[in-house]
Structure 1
Amino acid sequence: MKILIVKRDKLGDLLLTTPMLAWLRAALPQAQIDVLANDYNAWVLDGNTQPHKVWVLPRVRHAGKLRIGAALQTARMIWQMRREHYDWVIVGNGEESPRAIERGLSVKGRNTVSYCKSAADWPRLSHALPAPRGMHESRSVAALAEVIGLKLPEALPAPLYILPESGRAFAQQWLASNGVQAQGYVVLGLGARRAKKQPSTEQVLRWAEQIHARWGLKTLFMWTPGKSDNPLYPGDDEVAEPVLAANSPYILPFRGPLKEAIALVWSARTSIFPDSGLMHFAAASPGGVLGFFAETAISPSPAQWGPIGPRAHYLEADKAVAELSDEAVFDKLARLID
């Protein structure tokens, strides 16, 4: 049996597909299980031996410009995938994604499976399924494979990310240059894109002081650079700048690329992140994560997007994370640190 999982969206979403890959590998040890990703997210699977092959499509449009070479490379790769004659092409999204469905259909497998709002809109799908409600994204994606004849287990494997050796080397060098030992700090990150979903400046400063007083740990402070009103890439400078201006002896600022940030998360005692891709990576790390959610009546809910794994916890605020009490936060932190 040949199976292709189409996963062309965000980094955290691809990470949440690794439980499905591990389940399929265990349930179908003789099957060929491949993944179709793109050059933006495919590195999430580097070192992961669950898929046999990861097809990496280049972005045909980048910065608003058509890349002719990338378009030709994509056409050639689609032709190569058609020659595989996949038995099942599974569009691995928890809800309808028209672009992903079109990409899955272009492979021309014997069966193409996807969630969609209306089966009538996608007559070329062999299995047009209604998206489940109230299910975690990782389980929604995995449930698509039940059409093969498998039964979704009560518990899926945890998400898996293999930290590359270059990441370990970077973390060792960065920590040594800043006089910090591995496991000697807690990562506290922003990057939720909405102010209500991330801690306030006052909380960051207060928590860093309390973390040091209680456990003797530093706080490695991460944030997304830029202004919050940037329509394309909202940043966290409004919260970060006063934190940096306070010049706290307990805070180490880090404003670096994503892969390097993940490497530092892997060496932390534990991490604190609002709902974001980094939260999911931290959940898969040795130290685990405390995630934050807010106003989930109109924002993503932890029931669907909460961090998962053996060391994953979260808190949900009614309106904003700024409402959360220090007592509630440190009760969860103690479970991760102690």
Structure 2
Amino acid sequence: MKKILFIRRDNIGDLICTTPAIYAVRQKYPDAKIGILVNSYNADAIINNPDIDEIYVYEKAKHVPEKNKLSVWWSNLKVLMRIRKEQYDVAIGCGSYSPRLVRYTYMTGAAVRIGYLSKNVDKSKSYNMPICEPEKPLHEVEMVFNLLSPLDINNTPSPLRIFPLSDETQKVKNFLNISDIKEGKPLITFHISSRRPENRWPIDKFIELARLIISRYDANILLLWSPGSEKNPYHPGDDEKAELIIKSVPQIIPYRTNHLRELIAVLSFANLVVCLDGGAMHIAAALGKPIVTIWGSTNPDRWRPWGVKHIILQDENKKAENISIEAVFNAVEKLLA
């Protein structure tokens, strides 16, 4: 194989769950050119990955509301033309079947196009090397890894891979050096944000959990959240919720991450991460951090933290708000031990 292209159109966690497959291809074909097509929202998750030779970034119109759709489409077409000019031998459409993913894979011009085939789709309108979606539920890492079987790769997926940028890491180190950090005490990171309402944990519970951890362990707690106002219709954030926590728990240390690369760097310093199901959880897993995840409606068999110590807290109604403070604190204690 000379040139292999991965296509990952989805969110941050989906892309990070693709990194074991990329690593496996690099190990099997060390001299191949490996490219990946990602969107501007998740690109920072693989920007420093040594397994990848070239990153192609396209935009989703909903991520750039300041641009008109025609401009976005034209820009994306130019990205696809760059890919076609490169003449990739193989393109892998990563993720469950979708007509748009098939279309992107076809437009790369690759000779071999691999991806999952839905039972209800005409084969002639899909990939020229389709794979049937597995009947039993698999983790997303395993789902992507299965797509490598036509490349004669059938081993066990590695841990997730992510690589903080050195300048961002230094920036966080400088911040922590001037912050009121208690030496010799664990650094516990809270990430309070989730896109899905049913996956969110009430802010008053985060406040009480922080107070309990500080009183019992005198630990350092670093607060992270999705930046921006909750009133922003395109990119709603949690600035207001973070401000409430900061006012209620003066000992907490806030760090506003404006870019994904900053979030990656900050999480690399944590001893333990308390978060909701989402991209931050997968970043923490890729960094090898122990994780307490307050879970909502997502299927943990498909999306649990891969390859690290973790505790998932999910109630029968699949609503994160129902998880008690005591349950989260007990999980924190177990992982700290």
Q: TM-score, normalised by structure 2?
A: 0.85
Distance in structure 2 (CA, Å) of the matches to 1:122 and 1:51: 31
Matches within 5 A, 1:291-306: 291-294=293-296, 299-306=297-304
Classify 1:20/1:313 alpha carbon distance in 2 versus 1 (closer, same or farther; 3 Å): farther
Distance in structure 2 (CA, Å) of the matches to 1:122 and 1:18: 29
User: Which residue pairs with 1:36 in the alignment?
Assistant: 37
2:266 pairs, out of 252, 264, 267, with: 264
Distance in structure 1 (CA, Å) of the matches to 2:126 and 2:209: 54
User: Which residue pairs with 1:134 in the alignment?
Assistant: 137
Describe the SS at the equivalent of 1:188: strand
Classify 1:290/1:96 alpha carbon distance in 2 versus 1 (closer, same or farther; 3 Å): same
Matches within 5 A, 1:35-184: 35-57=36-58, 62-63=64-65, 65-66=68-69, 68=71, 74-93=76-95, 95-117=96-118, 118-120=120-122, 123-132=125-134, 133-151=136-154, 153=155, 155-180=156-181, 184=186
Deviations 1:164-211 (A, max 9, x none): 012112212222332226874211121113444232233212221222
Deviations 1:116-136 (A, max 9, x none): 433317525203333334111
8 Å CA contact 1:119, 1:129 repeated in 2: no
* Residue identity in the other structure for 2:49: N
Classify 1:109/1:314 alpha carbon distance in 2 versus 1 (closer, same or farther; 3 Å): same
Describe the SS at the equivalent of 2:211: helix
Matches within 5 A, 1:237-252: 239-246=241-248, 248-252=249-253
8 Å CA contact 1:32, 1:52 repeated in 2: yes
Once the 2 structures are TM-superposed, how far is the Cα of residue 217 of structure 1 from its aligned partner? 0.9
Instruction: Flag structure 1 segments of 5+ consecutive residues without an equivalent.
Output: none
Once the 2 structures are TM-superposed, how far is the Cα of residue 239 of structure 1 from its aligned partner? 4.6
Once the 2 structures are TM-superposed, how far is the Cα of residue 281 of structure 1 from its aligned partner? 0.7
8 Å CA contact 2:90, 2:114 repeated in 1: yes
8 Å CA contact 1:11, 1:277 repeated in 2: yes
C-alpha RMSD of matched pairs (Å):
2.9
Describe the SS at the equivalent of 1:317: coil
Q: TM-score, normalised by structure 1?
A: 0.85
Describe the SS at the equivalent of 2:170: helix
8 Å CA contact 1:227, 1:235 repeated in 2: yes
Distance in structure 2 (CA, Å) of the matches to 1:308 and 1:171: 25
Instruction: Flag structure 2 segments of 5+ consecutive residues without an equivalent.
Output: none
Classify 1:256/1:26 alpha carbon distance in 2 versus 1 (closer, same or farther; 3 Å): closer
User: Which residue pairs with 2:322 in the alignment?
Assistant: 323
* Residue identity in the other structure for 1:45: I
Distance in structure 1 (CA, Å) of the matches to 2:243 and 2:75: 43
8 Å CA contact 2:227, 2:258 repeated in 1: no
Distance in structure 1 (CA, Å) of the matches to 2:158 and 2:141: 10
Distance in structure 2 (CA, Å) of the matches to 1:208 and 1:190: 12
How many pairs were matched up?
Answer: 329
8 Å CA contact 1:208, 1:250 repeated in 2: no
